[in-house]
């Protein structure tokens, strides 16, 4: 999936969840909540497809340690991987 595509779909899904339908009818309310859960799952999965920049720790003297890249989402130490092995986040190394 293209990064642009993923971002556009993400925006649409988030908008749909934010504009969730509220109703007095219990069956419809339950159905809508289940749909919103499904949307949130999809949003979560898609967000991992949009690359997040790799992060590097900064020590007390303010120097960046480029030898210890880590995933910004979960903090896992990374070794030139396209996806974080722990949370599945796509990593941007540039
Ligand atoms: Zn991660």
Label residue 70 exposed, middle or buried (CB < 10 Å: 0-12, 13-18, 19+). Answer: middle
* Residue 12 alpha carbon to ligand 1 centre in Å: 25
pLDDT grade for 23, boundaries at 50, 70 and 90: low
* Residue 70 alpha carbon to ligand 1 centre in Å: 8
Confidence at residue 24, expressed as pLDDT on a 0 to 100 scale: 65
Confidence at residue 7, expressed as pLDDT on a 0 to 100 scale: 83
**Domain regions of the chain by residue span:** 1-50, 51-94
Per DSSP, the three-state class of 49 is: coil
The CA distance from 45 to 7, in Å, is 12
pLDDT grade for 53, boundaries at 50, 70 and 90: very high
* Residue 79 alpha carbon to ligand 1 centre in Å: 12
* Residue 76 alpha carbon to ligand 1 centre in Å: 5
Label residue 76 exposed, middle or buried (CB < 10 Å: 0-12, 13-18, 19+). Answer: middle
């Amino acid at each position: 999936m293209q990064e642009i595509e993923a971002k556009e779909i993400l925006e649409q899904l988030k908008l749909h969840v934010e504009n969730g339908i509220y109703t007095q009818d219990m069956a419809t309310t339950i159905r809508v909540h289940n749909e919103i859960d499904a949307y949130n799952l999809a949003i979560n999965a898609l967000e991992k497809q949009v690359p997040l920049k790799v992060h590097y720790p900064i020590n007390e003297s303010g120097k960046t340690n480029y030898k210890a890249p880590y995933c910004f989402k979960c903090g896992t130490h990374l070794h030139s991987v396209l996806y974080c092995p722990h949370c599945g986040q796509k990593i941007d190394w540039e």
